[in-house]
Amino acid sequence: MKYKAILMFVVAATIFTAVAQAQYTPSLMPPRTAHPSAATASINVKSDALALATSTCSYFFTVPGKLNSFLSYCVTVNGNIVSLQSPSGFDSIAQGGAGEGYGVCDASTGKSYYDWAYTDSGTWGAPVLLSSTATAVKIARTTTDGLWTLTQTITKQSGVQPFAKITMALKNNTAITKDAYLVRYADVDPANSSFTDSSFLESFDSSQYAAWGYGALNNSVGDFSLGLMLEEIGQPNVPYGFEGIAQNTSAAPDPCNPGANYAGYQASVDGSVELFWVLELGAQKTGTVNAKYEPF
């Protein structure tokens, strides 16, 4: 993560839109030490070996264009977006150590599974590369206990305002109905070239459908006024709730307590963005959600 001290504030928050009928007890999980992974995924070949967290790019996507019509991003073997540039040369994620990825909480057990690129829970199996083209990569991972499978499809969307679309399909591999929290997170630091940001201070806010970080026109550190939004697209195919969260810390959320670091509008903070869904999944059922990273 960033190479500077991070002050953590734990803020009690309950921000659920609609679905869950039970009360879930959050369980904070201590972070694990991340080690770079030299592994590469093989097409449709499953390995029982653990894949360690990595911020090394394996799949690269570019939309040519001028200013904010340009988009370039890369994805790790584990399905993390660890660099996203728009305009060219201005990276919103790869600053001081990339933090981006996904988390799942099994609401019936309080157990979490996450991979934020800079650290992971150690509870995901190795990635399975299902397909890779010039426009998309599709990666599946099953938890080490076999209870959940997450399949991600990350797709380049061209156009005047290009974006990276993320489709996450979470399957309940058990024979009973379960509720799960599904989280997408990014430590957003826009307005600088890769790994040159030294202040990490931006403004953050969120709505039900999105969360975003940006450098305001009057920001105190002299950065360019650019931003990155993580936004929900459409409607999940199972009973659901969802929320956008602007976090008051750059650290990743606990998937079992995703609203803990919510702080509303914030100026000149080292924050981050998050979307989370509450999904009701029947036995062997897959719930699919869609989101996008769009520069502004």
Q: Which amino acid is at 204?
A: F
- In the numeric block, the tokens 């799942």 are attached to 104
3-state secondary structure (DSSP) of residue 87: coil
Q: Average pLDDT of 267-274?
A: 94
Laid out side by side, the sheet with 100-106 consists of: 111-115, 100-106, 178-186, 272-281, 240-247
Cβ count near 49 (within 10 Å) = 9
DSSP 2: -
Q: Please state, for a pLDDT cut of 70, what percent of the chain lies above it.
A: 78
Question: Does residue 199 register a pLDDT over 80?
Answer: no
Check pLDDT > 80 for residue 30: no
Q: pLDDT band for 81, please (50, 70, 90 cuts).
A: very high
Is 59-295 assigned to CATH 2.70.98.40? yes
Query: Given this model, what pLDDT does residue 215 score?
Result: 83
Nearest CA among 236, 167, 240 for reference residue 16: 240
Which is it for the CA torsion 256, 238, 73, 45, positive or negative? positive
The whole-number average pLDDT for the span 26-42 is 30
Per-residue pLDDT band for 185 (boundaries 50, 70, 90) equals very high
Instruction: Tell me if 219 sits within 8 A of 120, measured CB to CB.
Output: no
Weakest-pLDDT range from 95-99, 103-107, 155-159: 95-99
Beta carbons of 80 and 100 less than 8 angstroms apart: yes
- Please check whether residue 104 is in contact with residue 277, taking contact to mean a CB–CB distance below 8 angstroms: no
DSSP state of 67: G
Supply the mean pLDDT for the chain.
84
Question: In Å, how far are 39, 150, 218, 219 from 142, measured between CA atoms?
Answer: 16, 6, 45, 43
Q: What is the pLDDT of residues 114-152, one digit of tens each?
A: 999 999 999 999 999 999 999 999 999 999 999 999 999
Task: Give CA–CA dist 237/234, Å, rounded.
Answer: 10
> Using CA atoms, how far apart are residues 247 and 118, in angstroms rounded to an integer?
18
Question: What's residue 197's pLDDT?
Answer: 67
Q: Residue 191 — very low, low, confident or very high, per pLDDT cuts 50/70/90?
A: low
pTM: 0.82
In this model, does residue 25 exceed pLDDT 50? no
Domain borders along the chain are 59-295
